[in-house]
A and B are shown apart, each in its own frame.
Chain A
Amino acid sequence: GENVEQHPSTLSVQEGDSAVIKCTYSDSASNYFPWYKQELGKRPQLIIDIRSNVGEKKDQRIAVTLNKTAKHFSLHITETQPEDSAVYFCAARFNTNAGKSTFGDGTTLTVKP
């Protein structure tokens, strides 16, 4: 089955700096890669996703890049703000109707004011 590794497990940055979280996956058949943000005690919320026919996607301060050959994808947050502090999860999925996602272990991001 699919295996997703996520690094780093914790990340602390100064407000205004950039943050990068990286994930690698094992199953070359995976073709859908979402990123979720989870605040303490709350639901994971989709913040951005990318499909395997695209190498990069950007939404304001958030971007995701995908390298299919190397089987890794990264989340980039620019101009970080304290409200970006949360746990971020990457996931990989083979996009069938019943496809289940495999999640990384999560990265705790702390943005210091």
Chain B
Amino acid sequence: GAVVSQHPSRVICKSGTSVKIECRSLDFQATTMFWYRQFPKQSLMLMATSNEGSKATYEQGVEKDKFLINHASLTLSTLTVTSAHPEDSSFYICSARPGQMNQPQHFGDGTRLSIL
């Protein structure tokens, strides 16, 4: 149980393109989902907390107009990287946690984004 599906797994696109990444909890409802960015050989950097039915909470230094998050249902959150540039190239990973307290978070497979 507790499967999180993330798509696409790989994106290569030109500078200026907007890219949407989907994160779905397949067998549980998630009121909260998290979006991370990971650079090579580095830790998981939390970008924002996605809350179902309300605005996302962004970490300090993360541009909310650049990284648009929508959490329209209890099983789906999306991250849109708007007008992507080469410096946005990274590995983006989402995670979700069942609504009950004391539950671990489960990660998606990640999306490797390459902006040319």
Interface residues of A (CB under 8 A from B): 32, 34, 36, 41-46, 49, 51, 89, 95-98, 100-106, 108
User: How many residue pairs, one in A and one in B, have C-beta atoms under 8 Å apart?
Assistant: 50
- Give the docked Cα–Cα distance between A88 and B101 (Å): 24
Interface residues on B, range: 20 to 34
A46 touching B104 in the complex, CB below 8 Å, given contacts A97-B32, A100-B34: yes
- Pick 12 A–B contacts, CB within 8 A, sort by A: A42-B110, A43-B110, A44-B44, A46-B105, A51-B102, A89-B43, A97-B32, A97-B101, A98-B32, A98-B51, A101-B34, A101-B105
Interface centre among B43, B51, B102, B109, by most chain A C-beta atoms within 10 angstroms, is B43
Q: Does B99 contact A (CB under 8 A)?
A: yes
16 further contact pairs, Cβ within 8 A, besides A44-B107, A98-B51: A32-B102, A41-B110, A41-B112, A43-B93, A43-B108, A43-B109, A43-B110, A45-B107, A46-B105, A49-B104, A51-B102, A89-B43, A100-B34, A103-B43, A106-B43, A108-B41
